[in-house]
Every structure is written in structure tokens, then in C-alpha cells.
Amino acid sequence: MAVSDFGTFVGADQTLTTSPTPSPRVGTVTVGQAEVTGNTAAVRVACAGAADAQCAVSLNMSVTETFRGHKLVAVAARVRHKVIGVGSAAVTLTAGNAATVRISLNGAGRKLLAARHVLKVKLVVTEALGNGQSATVSTQTVTFKAHSHRHGRH
């Protein structure tokens, strides 16, 4: 018997079986070499795998700064490292597809580039594995160069 707002219904007991929601299959990511234009890096990312597979990809650029602290008594200076994020992007692709992902330097990255004229950043590409974990697919060094503003004489 079942009772609802629509009335009381009499009949034999029945069983409802639900199946778990299938988690999407994770594809295989391939990453090309980054190409820099101005303040932007362009990276070709491709996803391969079964027809229903997906690749959820995150791209993060960072610079590791080294700070030296001095103490009067200490023989050696203490060295501290700080990782500064200078740009990020994300893309989700289905198997058989590819995209060129553009990552621009953020404010911190543009300031560092202006101060140094050449900025080497670490570009790490990770893929979400679907279980809350991620795996690093590619790590490469990308070099940004500030444009020199030279005015020619006429």
C-alpha cells in the first residue's frame, strides 16, 4: 500500500533499484610546449580516451622567490622560499578534442616582469582524476620578456 497526496493505492509490494551515477571516465592529457606572446602563454592541450572520457585540466604559472634573512650571530643566512602565483587557467575537454589555452600574467606577474625585464615562470599542468585527486601531466619553464620601448629617430 502507498499513501500520498493523491490518495491511497493498494497493490503488491514492488522494489525500486537505482544504479549509482557513473563517474565520467578520465581521458589522457597531452600538453604541447608553451609559446609566449607579450604577457600571455599559449599551450596546446589535447584529450584522448574512450568516447565518453573527459579531461579536466588546470594550468598554473608560478615564480619561486628566494628571501635571505640575516642574523648578527648566525654564521649562515637563513634562506626562505615563497611561491608566487602569476597566472592560471582551466579547461575541460572531451576525448578527441584539443584546445589552445591562453594564460596571461596576473598583476603580480606583470610587476615582476616590469622590474626584471625577463621572468622565468614554472608552468604546471595538472589533470583532475575524478576522485578528488589530481596528477601532474606536464611541468615546463616559460620565459616572458618585457618589450623595450625604443623610439627611432626620423
CA dist 116 and 103 (Å) reads 20
Q: Sketch the domain layout of the chain as residue ranges.
A: 25-140
How big is the CA angle at 90 (ends 88 and 94), to the nearest 5 degrees?
A: 160
pLDDT in tens, 67-117: 766 555 555 556 678 899 999 999 999 999 999 999 999 999 999 999 999
pLDDT number for residue 147? 79
Quote the cell numbers at residue 29.
592529457
For residue range 7-31, list pLDDT tens digits in order.
777 777 777 676 665 556 899 999 9
Q: Are 136 and 125 in contact (CB under 8 A)?
A: yes
Q: Is the pLDDT of residue 50 over 80?
A: yes
Quote the CA–CA distance of 134 and 87 in Å, as a whole number: 19
Q: What is the mean pLDDT of the chain?
A: 85
Q: Between 1.10.405, 2.60.40, 2.120.10, 1.10.260, what CATH number should domain 25-140 receive? A: 2.60.40
CA 147-149-151 angle, to 5 degrees, is: 150
Question: Quick one: pLDDT at residue 5?
Answer: 73
Selection from 8-22, 51-65, 139-153 with the highest mean pLDDT: 51-65
Q: How far apart are CA 109 and CA 146, in angstroms?
A: 11
Residue count of the chain: 154
- The pLDDT of residue 6 is 73
Does residue 152 surpass a pLDDT of 50? no
Distance of CA 18 to the CA centre of its chain: 35
Cβ neighbours of residue 78 under 8 Å, at least 6 residues apart? 68, 69, 70, 71
